[in-house]
Amino acid sequence: MAEVIPFIVAANDPALTSEMVAFPGNAGNINAYLSRPKSGGKLGTVIVIHENRGLVDHIQDVARRFAKDGFAALAVDLLSRPGGTGQYKTPEEAIAAIGKLAKSGVEEDLHSAVAYLKKQNFFNGKIGVVGYCWGGGQSLNFATKCRDLNAAVVYYGRNPDPLDSVQNIPCPVLGNYGADDPNIMPGVEPLKAALTKCGKGFDIKVYPGAKHAFNNNTNADRYHPEAAKDAWSRTANFFKKNLSA
């Protein structure tokens, strides 16, 4: 069992500006956690999509990690419509609420996040998206719906439905999967085949011995330090390549 690491980047890291923000959406304000380097300048931006437990501390930490790597990262609370992640007392309550979200509403709120980022003075004109678990599926789905994306990353998420919608993806795709993930792995080869058929650029890696949610350093049963480190390096380099002005 891996060691639990509560935070990889401290919430008060002095090199970062990290704060909760709100921006307008089709169904009211959307809450999000925004982290970026204090050094300023124009930055590539990354939309971070949470797991099925909502915008928890771990996902805020993930946003700060991207900020430490030189990006502006916006972790969107996709439970904003029913009142926000903070209202749920247990992970099980948040999971149940995630299960009730309409696909169309999630897509709308992510489009609103893109519109918000475009108005920020740090925006360099390039946007990427990354999602984990439930968010991984949302990341890949959103890439089929948003022409503004310059990069899309999926961590062990489900494929878009229908799969041939990947023909609409406007950007290169990076995938990180755990071999010991029986619910997700059956979709990996079909995804690769569909992306190849549509002529899309992609880089998909499967990590032997890694389970679903292997990147989550707060989950001792799932965290796989070696796979997480390598997948992070791949993801950060992918964004640096595709989100530089």
3-class state of residue 96 by DSSP: helix
Q: Which candidate in 61, 133, 146, 224 is catalytic?
A: 133
* Nearest C-alpha neighbor of 2 from the set 177, 226, 231, 232: 226
Q: For residue 198, indicate whether it is catalytic.
A: no
CA 179 to each of CA 163, 206, 208, 214: distance values in angstroms, whole numbers, following the listed order: 21, 6, 5, 10
- Please pick, among 50, 58, 212, 224, the residue that the annotation labels catalytic: 212
Q: Which two tokens stand for residue 135?
A: 């968010």
DSSP secondary structure of 170-209? -S-EEEEEEEE-TTTGGGHHHHHHHHHHTT--EEEEEEEE
61, 77, 109, 181: which one is catalytic? Answer: 181
**In whole angstroms, what is the distance from residue 216 CA to residue 51 CA?**
10
Give the residue from 73, 111, 17 showing the smallest Cα distance to 243: 73
Would you state the torsion angle of the CA atoms of residues 97, 104, 243, 159, taken in this order, to the nearest 10 degrees?
80
Active site residues: 133, 181, 212
